[in-house]
Amino acid sequence: MARIIGGLGTTHVPSIGNAIAKGLQKDPYWRPFFSGFDYVHGWLAREKPDVAVVFYNDHGLNFFLDKLPTFAIGAAKEYRNEDEGWGLPVSKSAAGIPELSWHIIEKLVGDEFDVTMCQDMLVDHAVTIPMALMWPGPAAWPVKIVPIAINTVQHPLPSLARCLRLGRSVGRAIESYDADLKVLIVGTGGLSHQLDGERAGFINREFDTLCLDKLTVDPTALTQYSIVDFVEQAGAQGVEFLNWMAMRGALTGRTQELHRNYHIPISNTAAATVVLENRPLPQRKAA
Ligand code: DHB
Ligand code: FE
């Protein structure tokens, strides 16, 4: 059966892609952020996942405001990127694993999550930047991906509780997949940030810390926040944390925070990187 090795949460700010393209990882502005990935590289080298299931939000590349699914899942052999207008080089493509995607879709619909199924899907910086951070360099990424897009853009948004439950359903689906695969769960975006309007540049370190603390030990506690509460506390784009809630939901076992890096700011964003371990629960003995 497929096994979930753990979860990774990371910011996906597009300018990180420019810093990578220009080789600025050791520059004083960028170093505190990129150094947070040293641990991640060692962990991934040890754990060697075969697949990454990536919860993210599309920012207008594949979906636009005219048609915006609440939850969409890729079932393609390959996911391409295109010019998104951020001045970034177009990213290499990610390989898909359609058989696993369809298995997850079957289980999600069985659990009454009526997801949009995408056999053709472009992925934007919210997928490609985290991939480039996890596996730097020109070589093809060493995992296949299942991208799952959550609407964090056009209100009404799904609640934190709903995204946690979506993640739980995905976690159960993965663990019922009959193949010897190691699966990493990724949640991208956040933490607090607001890109436009009167509060542009808004960041809330105290609230981010609370979210990260609760994420590992008691994610259900965060479901008390409505989307409006969350926007107030974390900024209009801080709701990208919904992707982190889904990631956490998919961790089916005992969860422990192995690594955290938090740095303010990268561009307009409070940048965070977290690694969560997922240890299988002891098997219950048959009665
Ligand atoms: C920024 C952050 C984002 O999450 C994003 O999608 C685009 C830009 C930023 O801080 O610049
Ligand atoms: Fe974003």
**Tens-place pLDDT, residues 127-157:** 999 999 999 999 999 999 999 999 999 999 9
CA nearest ligand 1 atom 6, residue:
13
The answer on pLDDT for 287 being more than 60 is no
Count CA within 13 A, CB hemisphere, residue 177.
Answer: 27
- Residue 257: what pLDDT? 98
Does 57 contact ligand 1 (Cβ within 6 A)?
no
pLDDT-based confidence at residue 285 (cuts at 50, 70, 90): low
The answer on pLDDT for 182 being more than 90 is yes
Q: What is the pTM of this model?
A: 0.97
Q: If you measure from the C-alpha of residue 181 to the centroid of ligand 1, how many angstroms do you get, rounded to a whole number?
A: 32
- Could you give the 3-state DSSP secondary structure of residue 233? helix
Does 269 contact ligand 1 (Cβ within 6 A)?
yes
- Residue 55: what pLDDT? 99
Does 261 contact ligand 1 (Cβ within 6 A)?
no
Confirm if 176 and 107 have CB atoms less than 8 A apart: yes
CA nearest ligand 1 atom 1, residue:
13
The answer on pLDDT for 283 being more than 90 is no
From the CA of 195, the nearest ligand is 1
Nearest to 190 by CA among 169, 209, 162, 168: 209
Q: Which ligand 1 atom sits nearest the alpha carbon of residue 15?
A: 11
Task: Tell me the C-alpha distance between 45 and 277, whole Å.
Answer: 15
Query: Is-catalytic flag, 59?
Result: no
Q: What is the mean pLDDT of residues 51-74?
A: 98
The answer on pLDDT for 231 being more than 80 is yes
Q: What is the mean pLDDT of residues 38-43?
A: 98
Does 17 contact ligand 1 (Cβ within 6 A)?
no
Q: What is the mean pLDDT of residues 91-102?
A: 98
Task: Tell me the C-alpha distance between 69 and 152, whole Å.
Answer: 10
Nearest to 4 by CA among 257, 248, 184, 246: 184
- Residue 271: what pLDDT? 98
The answer on pLDDT for 212 being more than 60 is yes
- Residue 31: what pLDDT? 98
Q: What is the mean pLDDT of residues 99-103?
A: 98
pLDDT-based confidence at residue 281 (cuts at 50, 70, 90): confident
Token digits of residue 215: 């994420």
Confirm if 189 and 238 have CB atoms less than 8 A apart: no
**Tens-place pLDDT, residues 249-269:** 999 999 999 999 999 999 999
The answer on pLDDT for 169 being more than 60 is yes
* Count of H-run helices and E-run strands, the chain: 9, 10
Does 62 contact ligand 1 (Cβ within 6 A)?
no
CA nearest ligand 1 atom 2, residue:
13
- Could you give the 3-state DSSP secondary structure of residue 246? helix
Query: Is-catalytic flag, 193?
Result: yes
pLDDT-based confidence at residue 15 (cuts at 50, 70, 90): very high
- Residue 254: what pLDDT? 96
Q: Which ligand 1 atom sits nearest the alpha carbon of residue 268?
A: 10
pLDDT-based confidence at residue 3 (cuts at 50, 70, 90): very high
The answer on pLDDT for 10 being more than 60 is yes
The answer on pLDDT for 286 being more than 80 is no
Q: What is the mean pLDDT of residues 85-97?
A: 96
